[in-house]
A and B are shown apart, each in its own frame.
Chain A
Amino acid sequence: MYQFNFTPVFHNLPKLFTGALLTLAISSLAILLGFAVGVVCALLRTNGPKPLRALVSIYVEAVRNTPFLVQLFIVYFALPTVGIRLTAVEAGIVAMVANLGAYAAEIVRAGIDAVHRLQIEAGAALGMSRLQILRHVVLPPAIEAVYPSLTSQFILMMLASSLLSAISVGELTGVAQLLDSLTFRSFEIYFVVGVLYVLITLVMKAAFQAIGFASFKRWRRLGGANLVFAPLQRFRRLLTNGRSA
């Protein structure tokens, strides 16, 4: 019978925390940059010149229909053969930004498409320039509308950062693999690392909720109720089979 032994894992918890910090740092950077790339691409795809629109479409479809792991390998192993040399961490971040940028572009574009034409015309009637309209009339409601899909994509990206271990980045999964080869307590290590990822996911969800609360007036106007009571209500609905409408 197999004897579970978590002591080697707990002895190495500080190392795992360092890895988790790197996961958080890399993911945060990739999310910030990827979001920026996504917004620019979404704007280009909806308002840019025709050839650029086509180019952005090709980029978005190419990324969305190939695995992140293969994109990572192309950046890390294949780009050096054409003279672009990146360290593992740099390559990882570049691949993550390229990947997230395409998904974010598609999501933000859906939000832009949902903004009513009359809003844009009203902006034009007030004498706003095209850029002002995009900045002040189109983007804020567009991003607010797709904020939930956007943040779940961010979290998927953080989870996908575990693949950076395949190109020897020492983030959480990379540290886990190292500890695995040192202690041979494979199951225990990956089990604990799985728990850590779930914790990171929960923390990020809460953080995005707080950021949304700080950024969107409408959320604030609905009051703290949205932040505190919505989960409570969801829980009550869970208990009452969703029938307490």
Chain B
Amino acid sequence: MFGQFGWHALTLLLIAARWTVLLSALAFALGGLAGFAVALLRTAPSPVSRTLTAAYIEIVQGTPVLILLFVAYFGVALIGIDVPPLLAASIALTIFSSAYLGEIWRGAIDSIAQSQWEASESLGMTRWQQLRHIILPQAFRISLPPTVGFLVQLIKNTSVTSLISLVELTREGQLIANATFRPLPAFVAVALIYFVLCFPLSRFSQSLESRLHVGRQS
């Protein structure tokens, strides 16, 4: 890799891309769990939980990922442990995705007609049964395209973790750019790898959306 951008550099990038994928998957799984809780609390009957989760979403969506990352990085350090960047990155990205996924799923739940709630209530269902059997299955279908779309945003946002020296795809690209003095091929290769990860998902999200619209019109 000294002075040359070749196969070796490309291999290094692909190895680093594993961290990008792993981090995205981790943040999506954990953020999904937390986001599900956020969505349920945001649509719960209690005004307290609705207001608190609304505030949570507003605050997280009003803060850059980079600042979330720094707050997580230096916040965890306050406990006095040496923070591995991966831990800080996972925490920050989990918080980030919990707010966005929570808001997406809140929208899906709210878009279910009020009559569905009333009909299931008149059948004597408890709130949990209503959610489990009537509301969530319908909301799931609606929320699928934006959820996949958000996954693309999440993968792209993992690049921010390079700024706390987590050696994922973008950081490795920087290292290679510095070592070879050829930033153009290095960063273009990085961009291409991101594109290969994201483009199929973007397309998938679009096709899900058009399928959903076809289903509605018939």
Binding site for B on A (CB under 8 A): 2, 61-62, 64-71, 73-74, 77-79, 81-82, 155, 159-160, 162-163, 165-166, 173, 176, 186-187, 190-191, 193-194, 197-198, 200-202, 238-239, 241-243, 245
Contact = CB atoms under 8 A, between A and B. Distances in A.
A74 B66 contact: no
Contacts of A160: 64
A62 B159 CA distance: 16
Given A74-B188, A194-B71, 20 more contacts: A64-B202, A65-B194, A67-B194, A68-B156, A68-B159, A70-B173, A70-B194, A77-B187, A78-B188, A162-B67, A163-B163, A187-B75, A187-B77, A190-B67, A190-B71, A191-B71, A197-B63, A200-B62, A238-B50, A242-B110
Contacts of A70: 159, 170, 173, 187, 190-191, 194
B198 A194 contact: no
Contacts of B158: 67
19 contacts: A64-B152, A66-B198, A67-B170, A69-B162, A70-B159, A73-B170, A74-B183, A74-B188, A78-B186, A81-B184, A162-B66, A163-B64, A176-B67, A186-B77, A187-B78, A190-B71, A238-B50, A238-B54, A239-B47
B160 interface: yes
Contacts of B63: 159, 194, 197-198
Contact of B78 (A2, A73, A176): A2
Given A68-B156, A69-B160, A73-B173, A198 B188 contact: no
B78 A66 contact: no
A198 B55 CA distance: 11
B155 to A, nearest CB: 8
Interface of B: 43-45, 47, 50-51, 54, 58-59, 61-68, 70-71, 73-75, 77-80, 110, 114, 152, 156-160, 162-163, 170, 173-174, 177, 182-184, 186-188, 190-191, 194-195, 198-199, 202
Contacts of B71: 187, 190-191, 194
A22 B1 CA distance: 39
A81 B185 CA distance: 10
Contact of A77 (B110, B163, B177): B177
Contacts of B45: 241
A165 B182 CA distance: 22
Given A67-B156, A190-B71, A62 B195 contact: yes
A194 B75 CA distance: 13
Contacts of A77: 177, 183, 187
B152 A65 contact: yes
Contacts of A64: 152, 198, 202
B64 A173 contact: yes
Contacts of A190: 67, 70-71, 74
Contacts of A245: 114
A234 to B, nearest CB: 9
A74 B191 contact: yes
A209 B62 CA distance: 16
Nearest to B174: A73
A100 B68 CA distance: 22
A216 B158 CA distance: 38
A193 B67 contact: yes
